[in-house]
Structure 1
């Protein structure tokens, strides 16, 4: 047990092993190092993980001397222990939960989007993915007064739609313009441009350029638009590029402590049920995944959507919530009757 514990607190990659050498610690002489090498003890990990009683007998060395050397090596090279309680307190103090602006969707997401995590919206055309992205960006920029980086890969972002939603949350033109300044839009149309963009964000180039407030969210609508055409068939490069994108997103979410929201297209499985695109490898990337679908019951509003939680580490999966996309367009449009509904249909939320 002790050997396993000692082994676990040292680096396990061979290239990172600390080699035993003269002067590395008091008491570790060249003669002692040579004696240890004769029994294949070459690194700090080898020594602290070994049974010192057996080692002393095998090498004709002083047991007390080996104990003293190991004590010094542990003090110099072992990881500093941190209690789980301390880690939990750090998590609570650093994690923020960002509302999407819709109570039903927030409920499904266990209060909203979590910083440090990747959340995915998946669904077919017109399922409401883009509308949810817009709402989240507006909510963070207007209500929280924090900055959002919005990466548009399919040309769906328009300032008019954002302004329309902002008018429902901010009464003055000054507030609306200030919120718009906090939403930084980047347009990319291929995976190589996306990777360059993400790398710039990771190193702080775009992060520092946002106006007003710190960056709290990165939204990509959609990640599948630039990845799906690179996958399948004989295109071996596509999988590598996809995992590079995934790695950048994970690093950004953790290191910058921001919420990452991405959208993905939906396909059909063998039984005709919807499932997220980009395959099994990508399915491990988002921490939370929500499937959006139209609700097509007779007499229902055209903006009604069904959200199904298909992956979560906090909530039971397959929980569902219905919500109306019209709630994000403002109270006046909500009262506009047929004309308001027709405008929502013409916007064709994605």
Structure 2
């Protein structure tokens, strides 16, 4: 899952990397899986140079064999349960957000998805844990967070635990996730919660479905790595759209569709829908489907 970098091999220059990235070859795995002729046509590398790089990458990044018991014990030791600070939500989550899982919050526009995420960020930061927020809509403001903290009587220095990055393209999103991975390893960043608000603005920018699929595949791979290998709880927001078929006056003609298509549908471990004053589990691999809890929006956020 390592991202291709110039320090991995002398022949992987910035020019070569730029050419590879333009064809959605971001990782060591993608480079090794690609045909040598394809790499040659994309870059200026010679056949023998490509073979040399592949051998070097294989030797350096081959998987280490471990037995199942050791793997399980390591997983248990790293897994944590993070209370959301919203009592009704923690009840249906059986205690809180579990690291290693991807949670999706979906709903109609202006249904409260961002407000819920802001509340999660505030409450988890109060646990002395860093929270990373990836903002694709420009909705995050320090002023809003400060007002939520003030309403709760919380010192503003807790905001030092909140890391925010605004971005506008699919490429920036994938790059940001790889940078988070590097920061956790090299800077020993103590990160337990990653929030992405939201995905549709990036993946609806282009009508190039083949490119969107390729980037989505890379995004999902690194997302799973962050969740499972680094034991981070990930929360992503997605939009629900309303479609009218036939008569606008007939309720049965109205259908609701989840954004990002079929590929994304099975990515999240747990999916919530937020409607009016309730949060309902639509899908989960460990929680009871259909269970819901009441929520209320106030100055402190969602309670």
TM-score by length of 1: 0.61
What residue is the counterpart of 1:189 in the other structure? 168
Aligned-partner Cα distance in 1 for 2:79–2:66: 23
Q: What RMSD in Å do the two structures reach over aligned CA positions?
A: 2.7
Name structure 1 gaps, 5 residues minimum: 1-14, 16-77, 295-304, 332-350
| Distance 1:145-1:80 versus aligned 2 partners, 3 A rule | closer
What residue is the counterpart of 1:288 in the other structure? 270
Task: After TM superposition, give the deviation of residue 275 of structure 1 in Å.
Answer: 3.7
Task: After TM superposition, give the deviation of residue 249 of structure 1 in Å.
Answer: 0.9
Name structure 2 gaps, 5 residues minimum: 1-31, 33-63, 246-252
Aligned-partner Cα distance in 2 for 1:197–1:278: 20
What residue is the counterpart of 1:204 in the other structure? 183
Note if 1:253 corresponds to 2:227.
yes
How many residue pairs end up in the alignment? 233
Deviations for 1:111-166, whole angstroms, at most 9, x for unmatched residues? 22111111110111111110111011111112x11111111000000111111222
| Distance 1:188-1:125 versus aligned 2 partners, 3 A rule | same
Q: Relative contact order (C-alpha < 8 Å, sep 6+): which is higher?
A: 2
What residue is the counterpart of 2:122 in the other structure? 138
Asked if the contact 1:100–1:132 (Cα under 8 Å) also holds between the matched residues in 2, the reply is: no
What residue is the counterpart of 1:242 in the other structure? 216
**Partner of residue 97 from structure 1, selected from 56, 81, 88:** 81
Q: Tell which structure's C-alpha radius of gyration is larger.
A: 1
TM-score by length of 2: 0.69
**Partner of residue 240 from structure 2, selected from 260, 266, 279:** 266
- What secondary structure is seen at the aligned counterpart in 1 of 2:125? helix
| Distance 1:207-1:112 versus aligned 2 partners, 3 A rule | farther
What residue is the counterpart of 1:158 in the other structure? 141
- What secondary structure is seen at the aligned counterpart in 1 of 2:221? helix
Asked if the contact 1:307–1:322 (Cα under 8 Å) also holds between the matched residues in 2, the reply is: yes
Deviations for 1:307-347, whole angstroms, at most 9, x for unmatched residues? 1101111122122222102273499xxxxxxxxxxxxxxxx
Asked if the contact 1:164–1:329 (Cα under 8 Å) also holds between the matched residues in 2, the reply is: no
Deviations for 1:79-116, whole angstroms, at most 9, x for unmatched residues? 65434xx6555443321122222112222323221111
Note if 1:278 corresponds to 2:253.
no
